[in-house]
């Protein structure tokens, strides 16, 4: 039987922390893992390009979760220090990966394969490659840590190549009911429903504003489709009693 498999995402980059760049990788990776692998992201951290900080976070997250996905810091410049930091975290040599070197040498041609580009073939010893169909420079996996680039379009093109390294978890079913009401009108009864199904179904309540109307999106998530349906019928019943309109997506 499949077990619960979880993951953490470690975003490495001053540009996200400073607010200069709006992160797009968290939602993408999380949705992809959930839909394709039944893996739940349970923690995200965004940290600066500081070796000591990367090492500490890689060690602690890799102990706590089934997988850790890092993004950013695997390019050719001085602030790209993810691979060397992960090598330190796992106390392995930081060296040229032969296959990565060959891929990059072929892509750039021998003449244009300068030191900056060669740096992208440096990885922790024992890494396996995550191939990059868009710009050649591969990511890598070592132990339970998968390293991907920070540029969303490149990361998106590589994500399918992570699949073969991942153990699949239980499929997570999800349903959203949009209720045209305010949270405080249903919070008491919703809390009672959640209390009863606590172990099986997770109920989230998120206010929204749409077409000038105020509403609440009730998101239910469970590995049991049967229990999910049961809880959703309880919520629909509650809406009916309170004369609240429902809009289902």
> Under the rule (CB under 8 A), what is the footprint of a second copy?
11, 14-24, 26-31, 34, 40-49, 75-79, 114-117, 119, 151, 153, 174, 183-188, 190-191, 194-195, 202-207, 209, 219, 221
Of 26 and 170, which CB lies nearer to a second copy in the complex structure?
Answer: 26
Of 34 and 142, which CB lies nearer to a second copy in the complex structure?
Answer: 34
Distance CA 138, CA 157 (A): 11
Of 99 and 202, which CB lies nearer to a second copy in the complex structure?
Answer: 202
Of 75 and 126, which CB lies nearer to a second copy in the complex structure?
Answer: 75
Of 56 and 227, which CB lies nearer to a second copy in the complex structure?
Answer: 56
Tell me how far, at minimum, the Cβ of 75 lies from a second copy, in Å.
6
The count of other CB atoms within 10 Å of the CB of residue 64 is: 12
Tell me how far, at minimum, the Cβ of 43 lies from a second copy, in Å.
6
Tell me how far, at minimum, the Cβ of 166 lies from a second copy, in Å.
17
* Cα–Cα distance list, 192 to 150, 198, 232 (Å): 42, 10, 13
Q: Which string of DSSP letters, residue by residue, matches the chain? A: ----EEEEEEEE-HHHHTTSS---HHHHHHHHHHHHH-EEEEEEEEE-S-HHHHHHHHHHHHHHSSEEEEES--SSSTT--HHHHHHHHTT--EEE-HHHHHHHHHHH-GGG--HHHHHTTEEETT-EEEEETTTEEEEEEETTEEEE-SSHHHHHHHGGGGGGG-------EEEEEEESS-HHHHHHHHHHHHHHHTTT-EEEEEEEEETTEEEEEEEEEES-HHHHHHHHHHHHHHHHHTT--EEE-
Tell me how far, at minimum, the Cβ of 124 lies from a second copy, in Å.
20
Tell me how far, at minimum, the Cβ of 88 lies from a second copy, in Å.
19
Tell me how far, at minimum, the Cβ of 215 lies from a second copy, in Å.
12
Tell me how far, at minimum, the Cβ of 29 lies from a second copy, in Å.
8
Of 32 and 140, which CB lies nearer to a second copy in the complex structure?
Answer: 32
Of 9 and 142, which CB lies nearer to a second copy in the complex structure?
Answer: 9
């Amino acid at each position: 039987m499949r077990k619960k498999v979880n993951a953490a995402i470690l975003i490495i980059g001053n540009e996200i922390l400073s607010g200069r760049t709006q992160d797009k990788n968290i939602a993408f990776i999380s949705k992809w893992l959930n839909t394709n692998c039944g893996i739940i992201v349970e923690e995200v951290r965004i940290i600066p390009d500081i070796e000591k900080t990367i090492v500490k976070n890689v060690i602690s997250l890799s102990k706590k979760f089934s997988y850790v996905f890092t993004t950013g810091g695997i390019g050719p410049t001085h602030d790209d220090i993810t691979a060397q930091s992960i090598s330190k975290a796992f106390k392995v040599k930081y060296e040229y990966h032969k296959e990565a070197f060959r891929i990059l040498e072929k892509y750039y041609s021998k003449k244009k394969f300068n030191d900056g580009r060669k740096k992208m073939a440096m990885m922790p010893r024992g890494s396996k490659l995550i191939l990059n169909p868009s710009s050649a420079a591969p990511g890598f996996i070592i132990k339970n840590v998968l390293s991907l680039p920070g540029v969303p379009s490149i990361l998106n093109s590589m994500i399918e190549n992570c699949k073969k390294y991942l153990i699949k978890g239980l499929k997570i079913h999800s349903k959203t009911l949009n209720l045209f009401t305010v949270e405080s009108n249903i919070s008491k009864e919703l809390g009672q429903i959640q209390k009863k199904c606590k172990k099986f179904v997770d109920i989230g309540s998120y206010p929204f504003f749409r077409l000038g109307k105020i509403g609440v999106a009730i998101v239910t998530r469970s590995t049991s489709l049967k229990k999910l349906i049961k809880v959703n019928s309880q919520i629909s019943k509650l809406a009916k009693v309170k004369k609240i309109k429902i809009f289902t997506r």
